[in-house]
Amino acid sequence: MNGATHSARAAELKRFLRAVRSRIEPDEAGVPLSERRRRAAGLRIEEVASLAEVGITWYSALESGRGVRVSAKLLERVASALRMSAAERDHLFALALPRSEVAAPRGGGGPFAAVIDGFTIGPAFVCDRFWNVGACNRLAALVYGHDRARERNLLARMLFEPEFRSLHEDWQSVAREMVDILHLAHGRAPDDPAALELIERLEAQSPEFVAWWSAYRLSDYEPKAGVIVHPVFGRLSLLFTSFVASSLTKGEEQSMLLLQPPTDEATRERLQRALESPG
């Protein structure tokens, strides 16, 4: 790992651990409240070290981004002490114990474009790890107008485009989930220039993104039910499913976002009529 990569990981790890530590109240963790007033919310460094059964010096060095020997066993203790979710634990391990990187896609839909072309029951996208769209199927183009959009990043569209945002009945829940996924991807490649440029752009223009990004409330991902209210195709009840797919031949990592009607026959019929329309 080169110096720039190490510095980026150390900075992200520092922000992450401090954010998680600051939101845990001492009484929640079973730590007796001290008589002297606390200057900051949450647990102190020495309290985390005690709960994790690690040395104060070691944990302080870990959180400060200084060089320290880490192991899966020690990180498991820290994750348990800080009551991390599975997603937060994965983020911790990606930052503190990085493994070999899977290459980011070089643009386009890659080998998965054909897969989503054959997905005809709902909108589908192929994205890179940072929500930049490489390809979409015809229903995605019809429902989201993505073939006509100048903005190629789905999260940016959700945060900046009122028409795109208004399609989603609960846009905040969808956007927050996308921010969580972006956070986890950033943890695997914290020095990626394109990702850093995107994050800087989102922070500069979206107060919601700033609040969600700094909170580090990473949730365990599960497919989510959602509703799209489309001005032409009506109310569409869909299951939002996102998963990472890797090309064995190229070693590239992409994600596929599939929106499918689980049991809603009305939605299925509306989408099929949309697919049969000439537009």
Interatomic CA distance for residues 176 and 155, integer angstroms: 9
Q: Please, what is the average pLDDT of the chain?
A: 83
pLDDT in the model for residue 35: 42
CA dihedral 28, 32, 36, 40 (to 10 degrees): -30
Mean pLDDT of 18-36: 75
36 — pLDDT class (breaks 50, 70, 90): very low
245 touches 112 (CB < 8 A): yes
- The answer to whether residues 92 and 115 belong to one domain is no
Q: Which of 74, 96, 118 is the last residue of a domain?
A: 96
Contacts of residue 227, Cβ cutoff 8 Å, sequence gap at least 6: 168, 169, 170, 235, 236, 237, 238
CATH number where 76 lies:
1.10.260.40
Residue-wise pLDDT for 159-183, tens only, equals 999 999 999 999 998 899 889 889 8
Residue-wise pLDDT for 79-136, tens only, equals 999 988 888 888 898 888 876 454 455 556 666 788 888 888 899 999 888 899 988 9
- The answer to whether residues 63 and 116 belong to one domain is no
The domain of 255 spans 110-276
Look at residue 243 and tell me if it is in a domain: yes
Pair type for strands 234-246 and 124-127: unpaired
Task: Quote the number of domains for the chain.
Answer: 2
pTM as predicted: 0.76
Q: Does residue 243 carry a pLDDT above 80?
A: no
Interatomic CA distance for residues 57 and 55, integer angstroms: 5
pLDDT in the model for residue 207: 95
- The answer to whether residues 60 and 119 belong to one domain is no
- The answer to whether residues 88 and 136 belong to one domain is no
Return the percentage of the chain with pLDDT > 70, whole number. Answer: 85
- The answer to whether residues 114 and 92 belong to one domain is no
- The answer to whether residues 139 and 197 belong to one domain is yes
Q: Does residue 66 carry a pLDDT above 50?
A: yes
Query: Greater confidence, 223 or 159?
Result: 159
Q: Does residue 214 carry a pLDDT above 70?
A: yes
Q: Among 105-114, 250-259, 262-271, where is mean pLDDT lowest?
A: 105-114
Look at residue 22 and tell me if it is in a domain: yes
